[in-house]
Structure 1
């Protein structure tokens, strides 16, 4: 795994540009304007291994931060889902039940297939006089 120490040879400006790229900042043109550098400079930096590593480091940090935030939101989300299970509207309760079951991987089957041999006996109970 790439660590911050692996990218310390970059300038402060390069690190800031790499971070904006990792964050999905609007465009390379906007980044170039913000730092008063050319787009060609950014393109050249993007070819350097250390700069590429810096972008990956920042992307990983962003992902870890998002995971921490989502984990922190989990208790509240569970409480809200629990409330929905008691909602007045049947459709809301049904969707909440589906969501809970889906989260614990207990989805209902889309299609139920029943196979087997069933013995069928045909009883000819029509009188002969009617058959003709």
Structure 2
């Protein structure tokens, strides 16, 4: 069972669909799509399968106003989303959680605990259809 830790701003920004006109709305749409993942088995990056136990999404800025649907734990970053995501990853990893981080941000990837696997937004967007 794996916890998906999602950099919501990075995933929303991965597709030029007008998200910049309504960041909170675009984030809410993503969170709603993520809510179907807990309990689902999916293709793991690099082969095999993983079962999603929980989805944790970090939101920042204007997107903090997005409603959190059942099935997604939302971390509302009071400042930097990267800081909040790195801290959440460290907390989950220290608690022994199997974790998969979704972000394309190279600087953020470098701040994650050693050994935490990372995939880009494309993997998640493909999974969501």
Query: Same fold judged by TM-score > 0.5?
Result: no
Q: Which has the larger radius of gyration?
A: 1
Taking structure 1 as the reference length, the TM-score comes to 0.24
Taking structure 2 as the reference length, the TM-score comes to 0.24
Higher RCO by CA contacts (8 Å cutoff, separation 6 or greater): 2
